[in-house]
Amino acid sequence: MKLFSCLMALLLFFLQAVPGLSMPKDTLRCVGYHGFCFHSKSCPEPFAAIGTCSRRQKTCCIDTTSNFHTCQDEGGHCVPPEIKCLQEQVGLCPHREWKCCTEV
């Protein structure tokens, strides 16, 4: 699985480096959540659907056996770095520099 993730990261790096091959916004969001884009409407086990890719043509799936869960799934909300969290928790936010908080 780690080899697959490394290959996907390398592929995404090259796609972003080549002008004119930028990814759609929903695909970038999926990649930001460490997700993968599948052609089918449902995700294979152990993946769970969290959105779309390729302008809603594919399904964005994340691995449920990993720690990559969205902040909202964990009961929190995302805040920018300048806001202090009273209680921070694990969870992915759409912006990498943002934090997942249960209480602000």
pLDDT at 72 over 60: yes
Ramachandran region of residue 54, left (φ > 0), alpha (ψ -120 to 50) or beta? left
Q: How far apart are CA 20 and CA 5, in angstroms?
A: 24
Looking at the 3D structure of the chain, how many domains does it have? 2
Does 1 map to a domain? no
Q: Are residues 27 and 62 in the same domain?
A: yes
Percent of the chain with pLDDT over 70: 73
Q: Are residues 32 and 60 in the same domain?
A: yes
Q: Are residues 86 and 60 in the same domain?
A: no
Does 18 map to a domain? no
pLDDT at 50 over 70: yes
Which pLDDT score, from 0 to 100, does residue 17 have? Answer: 47
Neighbours of 61 (CB within 10 A): 23
Range of the domain at 54: 23-66
pLDDT at 19 over 50: no
Mean pLDDT, residues 81-103 taken together: 81
CATH of the domain at 86: 2.20.20
